[in-house]
Amino acid sequence: MEIYYLTIKEAIGGLKKKSFSALELTKACLQRIKLIDKKLFAFLTIDESRAIEKAKEADRLIRKSTEAFRTKPLLGIPIGLKDLFTTKDLRTTAGAKIIKDYIPPFDATVVRKLKEAGAIILGKTNEDAWGHGSSGENSDYGPTRNPYNLDRVPGGSSSGSGAALASGECLMATGTDTGSSVRLPAAFCNLVGLKPTYGRVSRYGIIAMASSFDTIGHITRTVYDNALALEVTAGNDPYDATSSSIPVLNYASFLEKKIKSLKIGFPKEYLVEGIDKSVEENFYDTIKIFEKLGAKLKKVSLPHTEYAMACYYILVPSEVSSNLARFDGIRYGGERNLFGAEAKRRIMLGTYTLSAGYYDAYYLKAAKVRRLIKQDFERAFAEVDVMIAPSSPSIPFKIGEKIDNPLQMYLSDVFMCPVNVAGVPALNIPSGFIEGLPVGIQIIGPHFKEELLYQVGSAFEQETKFYQIKPEI
């Protein structure tokens, strides 16, 4: 297997044994980008010279002592950053042309932590502009394509991160998840994607979409890699008042724990008319695997699920309209006519629901429903340890298939948005292939119980090993 397809765990093992150098690993990824990214359009900006310089620094540290990995757990690992992540002296566009020339003077907290952990930043990945989308088609620079089928979407909005990792252009990539945007590209690209508990990872330096929903996650090839990355990025940040001071655990230490006797729920409201028959069958096959592993499966109820999408698409556009108001062409950014169609749609929706005479009828009512949805999850977790659900009601759809039907596009997040409304963590793991295309399930847990997600996800991953199936590109 080519070194650009290694897991982080495998790559660190190879670096320690001197099987290859960080420079060789970095150059392999950069060469891979040059070879295939014209087909995928996963990257918007490449920082080649700085990546090579950092790889050489990593090799010097490793030559001195492999003990360097104790303080720098991602030393020599090439990664991609979603272009919502502010990066000092490296162009940051949020996938939008209105700030196409923005060069930030500082790093986001997560970027700083990744750099301190020794990760090598290859560049910035493509995305739906401002994070608005489920497919990657709303980028102002052009859509990203799914490496398993170039005619299909890779999921969004962290589309470039998913496609880049799946195709061997990097060994890990970051994302943001406001309604699905880490988990859906992970599901559509056969990867592991974490939406952590709201406040588990600092939002400082991430260009905001909807501030009370935004969570900062990452996409990896395996559950172990994901747990390792969260150990680096999680924690309280004095620059983000919404970040939690709950201690960060050694998440990787939970991966060998058995799931026998764990209670796993599946919401009856998620298996309803409209889900693809093949996706439903895949989910029931998944349930059988968990039962084989000794878990106790139980049907649970989230009674306000039917209102979750309406609630989400009132509250989120309201916050979007507020956050994008700063880009007025005077204080920040270019002219407002550079906003794409989806950004304009969300600004108008949000402005309408916040306007005099409509605030009580829409926004306030949606805020109350948000509390009810959160309570649904709390009651369910009183009965079970975690819940599982399909990540998407369909397989990856064709590029252009839903672009003229925003409502249909929004419904691709129907199983994921309730998790963001409730603020709980969820982990997508690969659950197989349908018609040659990846599908995933999400494991949902109580607030700040990411270790449970990793424990359950690792047991399933070790049993199935779907992550080993690579795209032919």
Rounded CA separation 30/170 (Å): 8
| Alpha helices by DSSP H, 140-242 | 159-166, 183-188, 223-233
Residue of 358, 414, 410 lying closest to 389 (CA atoms): 414
Which member of 181, 202, 244, 321 is catalytic? 181
Going by the DSSP 8-state scheme, the letter that residue 190 receives in this structure is: T
Cα 16 to Cα 11, 79, 114, 230, 418: the distances in Å are 9, 19, 19, 22, 42
Residue 124, beta-bridge partner list: 45, 81
Q: Is 157 a catalytic residue?
A: yes
Rounded CA separation 424/413 (Å): 16
- Cβ count near 324 (within 10 Å): 25
Rounded CA separation 186/221 (Å): 9
| Alpha helices by DSSP H, 41-137 | 48-64, 68-71, 109-116
Q: Is 419 helix (H, G, I), strand (E, B) or coil?
A: helix
Q: Do the strands 437-444 and 426-434 form a parallel or antiparallel pair, or are they unpaired? A: antiparallel
- How many residues can be counted in the chain? 473
Which member of 82, 195, 402, 449 is catalytic? 82
Q: Is 67 helix (H, G, I), strand (E, B) or coil?
A: coil
* Residue 76 contacts residue 22 (beta carbons within 8 Å): yes
Which member of 21, 134, 157, 243 is catalytic? 157
Rounded CA separation 115/126 (Å): 20
* Residue 5 contacts residue 28 (beta carbons within 8 Å): no
Rounded CA separation 159/20 (Å): 30
For 287, the token pair is 């349930």
- Return the beta strands (E) in 221-262 as ranges: none
Q: Is 181 a catalytic residue?
A: yes
Q: Is 113 a catalytic residue?
A: no
Q: Do the strands 192-195 and 426-434 form a parallel or antiparallel pair, or are they unpaired? A: antiparallel
What residues act catalytically? 82, 157, 181
